[in-house]
Amino acid sequence: MPNNFDKAVLNKIKSVWDNTIYSNIAVTYQNVMDSTTTPNKELSLPLINIYRPEGFEPRENQTITARLQGIPIVCKEEGEEEVTYTARFIFVTLQYQLDLFGTSTEMLDELAKDIVHMMSLAPTVTVTQTDRTGKYEYTETYQLKHSQGPRDVSEFDEGQRLHRYVMVYTIDTARLVNFRAITRVDGVKIDADIVKDDGTKLPIINIEKD
């Protein structure tokens, strides 16, 4: 799910800059502006806001056969038999916008420099997706590529001096997983219980599954 990627990117940035949140940028901007007159400890500056404003864009990197069949994976829990399932997925592009809020351009220049440096040394993020039961997992490491910025998008209103930089990092081929258990066919039994009007019988094929 896309939110698994959102959490992974947030945790990566937050592990280095604790004052980092994931939120709609319009909401964060308004809250930060309000906090200039009403102090809010959670929104102290400098602040990094992460958001995915463009949603996600499907990509045709995978054949229709691969999308339908998926990757076979075996899951085995203690005391249980092995269960084979497939991780079917679609490729999408995810663009993460990092908004840096501060009281000066010097503050944001320093923060942006540190982010660019960190991303150049560790440009990956590991994402784990699970099914609804939480039993099946699919984990993969993706590259975060620099796409834009840092770009100054500061807006000064009514004498307020809130500086803001924007940076964008992209995961080009994120896999959104759909889990499906594999059902085995154990046997085929043929019955001939239906009789047509002319007296002939129609075979019925019953497929027995686990």
Instruction: With respect to residue 103, please indicate whether it lies within any of the assigned structural domains.
Output: yes
Q: Could you give the number of structural domains in the chain? A: 1
Work out the pLDDT band at 13, boundaries 50, 70, 90: very high
Residues across the chain: 210
**Alpha-carbon torsion (133, 137, 141, 145), positive or negative:** negative
Residue 142 near residue 129 (C-beta atoms within 8 A): no
Looking up residue 156, the CATH number of its domain turns out to be 3.30.2000
pLDDT at 209 (0 to 100): 47
Peptide bond into 58 cis (omega under 30): no
Instruction: With respect to residue 192, please indicate whether it lies within any of the assigned structural domains.
Output: no
Instruction: With respect to residue 198, please indicate whether it lies within any of the assigned structural domains.
Output: no
Instruction: With respect to residue 12, please indicate whether it lies within any of the assigned structural domains.
Output: yes
Share of the chain above pLDDT 70, in %: 72
Better pLDDT: 2 or 155: 2
Classify 185 as helix, strand or coil.
strand
Residue 122 near residue 16 (C-beta atoms within 8 A): no
Instruction: With respect to residue 156, please indicate whether it lies within any of the assigned structural domains.
Output: yes
* pTM for this model (two decimals): 0.74
User: Token digits for 9?
Assistant: 């990117």
Instruction: With respect to residue 93, please indicate whether it lies within any of the assigned structural domains.
Output: yes
pLDDT at 190 (0 to 100): 46
Classify 203 as helix, strand or coil.
strand
pLDDT at 40 (0 to 100): 52
Instruction: With respect to residue 179, please indicate whether it lies within any of the assigned structural domains.
Output: yes
Work out the pLDDT band at 177, boundaries 50, 70, 90: confident
Query: Residue 183 pLDDT > 50, yes or no?
Result: yes
- Cα dihedral 51, 132, 72, 66, rounded to 10, equals -50
Instruction: With respect to residue 194, please indicate whether it lies within any of the assigned structural domains.
Output: no
Query: Residue 114 pLDDT > 90, yes or no?
Result: yes
Domain that holds residue 125: 2-185
